[in-house]
Amino acid sequence: MRFLGIIPARYASTRFPAKPLAILGGKPVIQRVYEQVAGILDDAYVATDDERIESAVKAFGGKVVMTSTKHNSGTDRCYEALTKISGQFDVVVNIQGDEPFIQPSQLEALKACFDDSQTQIATLVKPFTAEDSFEALQNINSPKVVLNKNHHAMYFSRSIIPYQRNAEKNVWLENHVYYKHIGLYAYRSEVLKEITALPQSSLELAESLEQLRWLENGYKIKVGISNVETIGIDTPEDLAKAEEFLNTLKH
């Protein structure tokens, strides 16, 4: 199977404008993401709507494709990029442009989901541990996932799911394994075409999570499990944390 990595990157982020070009450890964030991905997949491109990001990617020798400014999601941008990139690919991997610490093991876990010929879409989760704080569990920017016994996603939510009715909150993490969603997706190419043609769904609009559109329309999302901690960059404060994390890796 051939896997194509696409890194959607917008300039106009609500919480952190110009985020892909923010400097982390002397390199733009988008370069760090690209370098983590290139070589693990059969090919990799940044998909952007902004010439400043295009120029930055070309400057470090990366591959880039220009896409529309009108996309509502990274998934939509990935599909347009797929239509513009030459070559045949069985699976498209959507790597968020704000995940500079994405690891080869995580990409391999995602690829392994497609060893099952029935897999349509795949994503990753990381188990919360008993050492994590309740504040981390209830962080609305860190969606939670409930899995069935076949490792398919049953539901994603910004709320804590499941809710433990008969236990104090300080023991929730000890009583149950909660899963944190890692914003990494892979789709069979034909499925990517189908899901981008779907209208936004009521669950998606309620939670502002596009993957709920796919579940609501009957698609199955296979879930791989990773124990690697990643630091996504949503705000300037996150960038400062990422800089600290990068320094710990150097020592």
For the domain with range 103-182+195-229, which CATH number is right: 3.90.550.10, 3.40.50.300, 3.40.50.12780, 3.20.20.140?
A: 3.90.550.10
Where does the pLDDT of residue 20 fall: very low under 50, low under 70, confident under 90, or very high at 90 and above? very high
Structural element, H or E, at residue 227: none
The tens digit of pLDDT for each residue in 86-128 reads 999 999 999 998 889 999 999 999 999 999 999 999 999 999 9
Q: Averaged over 40-49, what is the pLDDT? A: 96
* Residue 154 CA, distance from chain mean position: 18
The reported pLDDT for the residue numbered 229 is 78
DSSP 8-state code for residue 243: H
Checking if the pLDDT of 23 tops 70, the result is yes
Where does the pLDDT of residue 72 fall: very low under 50, low under 70, confident under 90, or very high at 90 and above? confident
Class (C level, CATH) for 1-99:
alpha beta
The tens digit of pLDDT for each residue in 203-231 reads 999 999 999 999 999 999 999 999 987 78
Domains 1-99 and 103-182+195-229 share a fold: yes
DSSP-derived secondary structure for 107-174: HHHHHHGGGSTT--EEEEEEE--TTS-HHHHH-TTS-EEEE-TTSBEEEEESS-SS--TTS-GGGHHH
The structural domains of the chain, with segments of one domain joined by +, span 1-99, 103-182+195-229
Cβ atoms of residues 163 and 178 within 8 Å = no
Give CA–CA dist 111/226, Å, rounded. 12
The tens digit of pLDDT for each residue in 169-208 reads 999 999 999 999 998 999 999 999 999 999 999 999 999 9
Other Cβ atoms less than 10 A from the Cβ of 110: the count is 28
The reported pLDDT for the residue numbered 251 is 63
The upper half-sphere exposure of residue 158, i.e. CA atoms within 13 Å in the direction of its Cβ, equals 11
The reported pLDDT for the residue numbered 42 is 95
The reported pLDDT for the residue numbered 14 is 77
% of the chain with per-residue pLDDT over 70: 100
Query: Under 8 Å CB-to-CB from 224, ≥6 apart: which residues?
Result: 109, 110, 112, 113, 122, 123, 124, 125, 151
| Cis peptide bond upstream of 100, omega within 30 | no
The reported pLDDT for the residue numbered 196 is 96
Checking if the pLDDT of 68 tops 70, the result is yes
